[in-house]
Amino acid sequence: MKEKELNEMLAAALRSRDFDVTDKFVDAFLSDEVNISPVSSEQDLLSKLRTRLQDQAIAKAKASLPTERFSFGRYIEAIRERAKISRADVASRIKCSLDLPLRLERGDISPCSLHVGQLADFVVLFAVSIGDVSNLLITSVLANEEKVTYRASARSHGGVRTDVRSEDVERALDAFARKMAQKQASGSAAVPEEVRTCLFGLEAELRRRGRIELLK
């Protein structure tokens, strides 16, 4: 037998399932400098991996999170925090300004007031179905209306101004307003007009992007 044939057979044996990779083999392999020279596409692949890791983390986080307790912004925030993704990551993924995720989460901006493409970006990133978006938007709109009343009331009774209110106070106010809004919503089945318009546009946008799985 020629040495070339033997080497070919050995290489094939190495590639077969007959032999598991061993600690010694990997140690020797990793110690050989030839095997650790950089790969040209590393940055592209890393960026793809980051996206996949984030998507996976979002899917995991969503699995244990009911939608009915949240406004759209707070729902996004809850998933993001559970998935350990920063607001900067979100901004980078959907190519928006750094403060937009924060303002949306806090309810400073109504999701219905976003450009439909921008809302679709959030919906797609967090893989929220249109049925869930509908509930979240209703809660957002009603909670925001309640919040406006409470803010005005707080100011007229000497409460702190919006720009110096802490995140904790804002969160508590938000939760309270949401609760009141849900109570109110349970008494009537009417979907606010702005939510209906928003959902109509969102559905068309999701169709355009081919994200049919979100139209449930």
Partner 1 sequence: MKGKPVTTFDEINTSEFLRQLQEGSVEAYEHLFRRLLSPLVRFLVGTMGLPERDAEETASDVLFSVYKKIGSYNPKGGARLTTWIFQIAKNRAIDVLRKTEQLLPEPEPAGALAGRNERYVAWISGQLKSLSSDDRELVLSRAAGISYTEIARSLGITEGTARVRHSRLIERLKKAAEEGGPSAGAARV
The contact set with partner 1 (CB under 8 A) reads 1-32, 34-39, 41-42, 45-46, 48-50, 52-54, 56-57, 60, 84-85
Nearer to partner 1, 125 or 138 (CB): 125
Say how far apart CA 26 and CA 162 lie, in whole Å. 59
Residue tagged 């190519």 (tokens): 95
Measured from the CB of residue 81, what is the shortest distance to partner 1 in angstroms?
13
Contact by Cβ (8 Å): 178, 71: yes
- Between 53 and 204, CB nearer to partner 1: 53
* Region of residue 210 (phi > 0: left; psi between -120 and 50: alpha; otherwise: beta): left
> Between the CA of residue 104 and those of 53, 173, 179, 182, what are the distances in Å?
23, 15, 18, 19
Provide the residue type at 67 as one letter: T
Nearer to partner 1, 29 or 200 (CB): 29
Smallest distance, partner 1 to C-beta of residue 120, A: 25
CB of 137 to partner 1, least distance (A): 29
DSSP character at residue 210: T
Nearest residue (CB) to partner 1, 5 versus 163: 5
At position 212, the amino acid (one-letter code) is I
- Rounded to the nearest whole angstrom, what is the least distance from the CB of residue 9 to partner 1 in the complex? 4
